[in-house]
Amino acid sequence: SGSGESAELSGSGESGKQNWSRESEVLSGSKEIEELDVSGESEELRGSVESEELSGKGESEVVSGSGESVELSGSGDNEELGGSGESEETSGFGESEELSRIGESEDLSGSGHSEELSGSGESEEQRGSGESEELSGCQENVDLCGSRENGELSGSGESEELSGSGESEDVSGSRESEEMSGIGDSEELNGSGENEELSGSLGE
């Protein structure tokens, strides 16, 4: 439960299997992790920032902590710690996969470059705003409830079957995303950014 490089110690110094952070594997800290519960580079996360199936942040693999670690719940140069640092399979943050936070990911509900997110960013079929079609906002739309260069619209802006604002397709978020509800370059998000099938506001 201390810090530093140790093996099966509960104090500080060089040890392994401790509950601290710093270059560890499978911890619950943040930094270079896969399958975290924070944000970072991941796919199928609920967060944002390039991650894969993470719910944390940073580059990690199956981690619920932070830092570069593998099966750690601490921090420091450890293995099987419960802290943070370089680890895999942690629940912290950093570059990770399977995160539910922020970063480029797929199947995320956060924000960043992701596919199937529920946040905002580049996505299709979001509930945000941006480049989308079938929005419930106004701006370059067709069949809207506003005014401005429209075709059968009751809004404003050039759009087609939108109820939001911005160029999007079937999105209710904002900013380039596909079927996402998070933020960033994602697909199937419910957030904002360049989206398709969005109902938010924002343009390409």
Q: List, edge to edge, every strand of the sheet that includes 170-173.
A: 123-124, 195-198, 170-173, 127-128
Identify whether residues 137 and 47 lie together within a single domain.
no
The answer to whether the pTM exceeds 0.75 is no
Handedness of CA 190, 192, 197, 201 (dihedral sign): positive
**Range of the structural domain that residue 135 is part of:** 109-204
Structural tokens at position 2: 């201390």
Identify whether residues 1 and 41 lie together within a single domain.
yes
Identify whether residues 28 and 46 lie together within a single domain.
yes
Q: Tell me if 98 sits within 8 A of 41, measured CB to CB.
A: no
Residue that terminates a domain, selected from 57, 76, 105:
105
Residue that terminates a domain, selected from 83, 105, 127:
105
Rounded to whole angstroms, the Cα distance separating 31 from 127 reads 30
Identify whether residues 192 and 118 lie together within a single domain.
yes
Identify whether residues 28 and 72 lie together within a single domain.
yes
Identify whether residues 159 and 86 lie together within a single domain.
no
Identify whether residues 100 and 118 lie together within a single domain.
no
Identify whether residues 72 and 100 lie together within a single domain.
yes
Domain count, the chain: 2
Identify whether residues 43 and 123 lie together within a single domain.
no
Per-residue confidence of the chain (204 residues) as pLDDT tens digits?
A: 455 544 444 444 444 444 444 444 444 444 444 444 444 444 444 444 444 444 444 444 444 444 444 444 444 444 444 444 444 444 444 444 444 444 444 444 444 443 444 444 444 444 444 444 444 444 444 444 444 444 444 444 444 444 444 444 444 444 444 444 444 444 444 444 444 444 454 554
137-176 exposure pattern, b = at least 16 Cβ within 10 A, e = fewer? bbbbbbbbebeeebeebebbbbbbbbbbbbbbbbbbbbbb
Residue that terminates a domain, selected from 72, 88, 105:
105
pLDDT at 200: 52
Cα angle for residues 161, 167, 169 (degrees, 5° grid): 55
Identify whether residues 21 and 83 lie together within a single domain.
yes
